[in-house]
Amino acid sequence: MSLSGLLNLDDTLGAVYIGYSVSSVIFGIFTMQTISYFVHYRADPWSLKVLVILIWFVKNLRTNDQYLTDDNQVY
């Protein structure tokens, strides 16, 4: 029995590729907003800057975790 009989890759990999691409673009925009914040608002208190870094870090972990875990495997 061939692999193509078990799984039709044409229908699944296209959707995964599009989803990953859109997610990467949105994460890039989010990262640019974070960098822009640090460039333009240097006078903000450190507590606010730490909060922004923490939010970016958690978002980064969540974005990467989406594609590294077995929960999102396509069957």
Decide if pLDDT at 43 tops 80. yes
Average pLDDT over residues 31-55: 94
pLDDT 10s digits, 44-56: 999 999 999 999 9
Q: Is the pTM of the predicted complex or chain greater than 0.85?
A: no
User: How many whole angstroms separate alpha carbon 10 and alpha carbon 16?
Assistant: 11
Mean pLDDT value of segment 23-42: 92
For the chain, the average pLDDT equals: 79
Contact by Cβ (8 Å): 52, 37: yes
